[in-house]
Structure 1
Amino acid sequence: MQMFFHKKERTPLGFCDGLDNIFVGFGSKDERGCRPPKYHTRYAPYYRIHKAASTGDIDTVKSFVLRGIFDMEQIDWKYRTALHFASVYGHPEVVTLLVQNNCEINPKDINGATPLIKAAQCRQMECLDTLLSYGADPNIMDCCGNTALHYAVYNGDIGIAARLLECKANIEAMNENKITPLLLALKQNKEKMAEFLISRGANAETCDFLGRNSLMYAVRCGSEHIIKLLLQGDIDTFKKDAFGWTAKRYAIESKSKV
C-alpha cells in the first residue's frame, strides 16, 4: 500500500470529504435538506406511459397494460420503465397495477438503479413497501455499488432503512469504495441512523478501501455519542488504516474535541 500513498501526498485527515461523487442522481437540496433525483430536476418523461405513470394517471396506464407486456415495459433512452417513474414520483397504485400484471420488477436504468432503489432515494415509502411486498430484490447494486439501503442511509430515513432490513437487505453491503451503510451514516454525520444500524447488528470493524473502520470515521466526523457506543462494544482501538494511522492519531492530528 505504501507505493500508492507517498509522504508528499494529501493528508489522510480529509477522508470524510469528497465522497459524494459515489452517489449518482442527486441534484440541489430540497426543503427537507435532501437531494432530489435528476428524474425530477433535469427532464420530464417523454413517452406517454411514462408521463401517465409520473402523474398517477391510472386509466392511461391501464390502457397500456391491456395492450400487453411490450407496451407496458417500454423504455426510454435512459432505460427507464413506467415502474421507475411511478416509484420516483410516488404513485403506489400505479406500482401495484404494473407489478400485478407481471411487469419486470427489477429493471435497471442506465445507472443500474432499480425502481426499488429509486423509491428509497426519493423517500417514497408506500411505493417501496409495495415493491418489497411483490418480491423486489433489496440487494441489487447500482453502477456505483450502492444499494437501496445506502440511499436510505444517505437520506437519514430510518423508516425506509428498517423496512429494507425486514426484507433481508444486506446491512454489510459495500459499494465500489467499500463504504457500508454504517460508514456512510458516520460520514454523513447521521448519528441516529448510525446508532440504529449498530443496534441492528452492523459490523463496526468493517473497513473501507483504505482500511478505515467506523471508529476512525466517528472520530474524524466528531461524533462523541457514536464513539462511546463503539467503545462499549469493544472495537479495536489499535486498528491502523492504509496510512498507518489509528483512531487516536486521527483525534490528535485533527485536534478533535472527542
Structure 2
Amino acid sequence: MAYIPPVNQPHCCDIKKCQQFINEEGPSVLGNYDEKGHTPVHWAALAGSAELIGLFVDCKGPVNLPSQSESGQHPIHWAAVNGCIAVVDLLVKAGVSLDVEDQKGCTPLITAAQYGQTALCCYLIGKGAKVDLCDLEGDTALHWAAFKGHCELSHLLINSGCNPGQTDNFGQIPLHLAVLSGNLPTVQLLCGQDGVELEAEDHNRNTPLRLAKGRKSKEIVSFLQNTIIQSKNLHAKFNWSTWLFGRPGKSKGPLLFFYGNLFLWGYPTYFFKIMPVSYYALWEWHITFLLCNVLMWFFFLKASLMDPGFLLRGTEEYNNAVRQAINFNDWKNGKNPLSRLCHTCHLVKPLRSKHCRVTNRCVAHFDHYCPYVYNDVGHRNRFALYMAAVNITTNERMNLKKYSYLMDESGHFFNPFDRGLLLNLLEFFHLIPQLSEDKIRKRDVNEI
C-alpha cells in the first residue's frame, strides 16, 4: 500500500507534498486509510483546508469514502463539525450528496446542528438539504439544536420547515431536549410554536415541566408553569409576580435593588439625617446635589425606557442574502455572506450590531444588556446611560483579533472606527454622522 500523504495529521496541510504524493502514486492514494480508519480527505476536511480539498477534487480522486471507524462518517461530515462552508461547497460540487448519512443516520445538516454551525446549516438548507430527516434514534436537526441550546439555529430550522412537535424514538419532542439543555431562550422559542404540546409525555412519562423540576432549572420551571396556565385560559391572565419581578430570563432584581438602595436608604439618610443639620451652612451644595439628581433621573429613565436602537425585523435584505448564497462561488477565499445574518430577527446585521439574548432583538452599536436600567445599551441610549453613570467598555480592545473587520489586507489589526479623540467624541454625542460601511472598509491602517 502506498504511503498516506501527510495530510492525515490534522495539523499538517502541506499542499506541495500532497501534490507530490498524488503525482507519484496516482489519485487512488486518496482512498487509502490510516491506522484509525480515515482517509486523507477526512483530515483535510476536518482541518478546513479548501485548497487541499480543491486539489483532491481536481485530481479526480475519491472524496466521499466513509470512515472505517464505528461512526462511518464521510469527509463532508467532518467538514460540518467545524462549519467550513468552503470545504462543504467543494465536496457538494464534486457530487457528494447533501443528505449522505453516516452509520448513525446523521446527515451533514444534523452534524452541523450538533455543533451549532448556523451559517453552514443555512447554506445546506439553501442548497436543498432535507430538514426532516432523522438519525437512527429519530432525532432531527431541530432535536439536536434544541438539545445543544442553539436558539438562533432552532429558529432557522423551524422557519425552514422542521416540525417542532415531532417525536423521536424516546417519545421526546424538541421541547424536552431544550429543557435538558437548560437554555431558556430555546425553551421560550419552542413554546411559542404551533403544534407543540406543552405537557407532552415521553416514553418515561416525563413532561418538559417534570424534566425542568428534576434539573432544578428554576427559570424554566417558572416559565413553563406560567405558559401552561395561560394556555388553559381563554383570556390572558395578569401575573403580578411577573409584572413586579420580571419574566424568567429578564429579572428586575438588580433594578429593584437599585431603587431599594436609593429610596429605602440613600434618600431617607440624606433628607432626614444630613440635610437638617447642614442645609443653611451648605445650601448651595444641597441645591447642586438636588439638581444633579434631577438630571441623573432624567437620563436614567431615558436610558431605561427609550428604544436603544432596535433594528427592523423581517427585512427583504435578509431574504435576498439567503437566496444569493445559493449561487455564491467565493467561499474558498474566506468570504461568507451568511456570517452576518440573524435568523431570529431575519435581518443582515450591520457592523457593530449584535443580537441580545435577553431582549431577543438585534441592536445597533450593541454595548451590553444592563440589568440596572432593564434595557439594552446601544446607539440611541448610550449617551443617556453615560450621563447617568460613567460607563467604559474595553470589549473591542480585549477581543481585537476576534473581529475580521478589524484586519487590513496585510493581516494587521487596527480599529477602523477610531477617528481620533475629537472626532470620536463628536460622533459619540451625535454631533457628526458616523462613517458609512463603505468608508470603513476603505480605511487603511496608515490612515489611523
TM-score with structure 2 setting the length: 0.40
Q: 5+ residue gaps in structure 2?
A: 1-34, 234-448
- Tell me which residue corresponds to 1:208: 202
Give the aligned CA root-mean-square deviation in angstroms.
2.3
Aligned residue in 2 for 1:75: 66
C-alpha contact 1:116 1:136 (8 A) present in aligned 2:
yes
Measured after TM superposition, the shift of residue 44 of structure 1 is 7.8
Q: Aligned pair 1:56/2:48, yes or no?
A: yes
Counterpart CA distance in 2 for 1:176 and 1:200 is 21
Displacement of 1:79 after TM fit?
2.3
The TM-score with structure 1 as length reference comes to: 0.67
Residue among 163, 167, 178 paired with 2:156: 163
1:180 paired with 2:180, answer no
Q: Give yes or no for contact 1:218–1:227 (8 Å, CA) kept in 2.
A: no
Match 1:139 to one of 129, 132, 138: 132
Q: Which protein has greater RCO, CA pairs closer than 8 Å, 6+ apart?
A: 1
Amino acid at match of 1:63: L
Larger-Rg structure: 2
Separation (CA, whole Å) in 1 of partners of 2:167 and 2:44: 35
Identity %: 25
| Alpha-carbon offset, residue 191 of structure 1 | 2.5
Q: What is the CA–CA distance in structure 2 between the aligned matches of 1:47 and 1:121, rounded to whole Å?
A: 23
Deviation per CA, 1:188-210, whole angstroms, max 9, x where unpaired?
43322111101122222432114
C-alpha displacement of 1:62 = 1.6
User: How far apart, in 2, do the equivalents of 1:209 and 1:118 lie?
Assistant: 25
In structure 1, distance between residues paired with 2:117 and 2:66: 21
Contact 2:148 2:178 in 1 (8 A): no
Matched, 1:85 2:74: no
Contact residue 45 and residue 51 of structure 1 kept, 8 A: no
Structure 1, residues 159-199: CA drift from partner, whole Å, max 9, x if none?
11011112111111212110100122223433221111011
SS at match of 2:66: coil
Secondary structure, aligned partner of 1:72: coil
Tell me the CA shift for residue 131 of structure 1.
1.1
TM-superposed CA distance for 1:149, in Å, is 0.9
1:45: how far off?
A: 7.8
Structure 1 distance, partners of 2:206, 2:72, is 36
Alignment-derived partner of residue 224 in structure 2? 226
Q: Is the 8 A contact 2:149 2:182 kept in 1?
A: no
Distance change (3 Å), C-alpha of 1:44 and 1:160:
farther
Q: Over residues 50-86 of structure 1, what are the superposed CA-to-partner deviations in whole Å (9 max), with x where a residue is unaligned?
A: 1111112212212332344x71211111321121111
Question: Shift in Å at residue 158 of structure 1?
Answer: 0.6
Aligned partners of 2:44, 2:36: CA distance in 1, in Å?
A: 11
Task: State the distance in 2 between where 1:187 and 1:84 align.
Answer: 25
Does the Cα contact within 8 Å between 1:116 and 1:138 map onto a contact in 2?
yes
Q: Which amino acid aligns with 2:42?
A: H
Question: 1: CA distance between counterparts of 2:120 and 2:167?
Answer: 25
1:180 and 1:232 map into 2 onto residues whose CA distance is 21
Partner of 1:99: helix, strand, or coil?
helix
The number of equivalent residue pairs is: 192
One-letter code of the match for 2:222? E
CA distance in structure 1 between the partners assigned to 2:99 and 2:172 by the alignment: 23
- The 3-state SS of whatever aligns with 2:62 is helix
Instruction: Name stretches of at least 5 consecutive residues in structure 1 with no aligned partner.
Output: 1-42, 236-258
Q: Is the 8 A contact 1:45 1:54 kept in 2?
A: no
Q: Residues 42 and 74 of structure 2 are in contact (CA less than 8 Å); yes or no, is this contact kept in structure 1?
A: yes
Q: CA deviation at 1:214?
A: 3.6
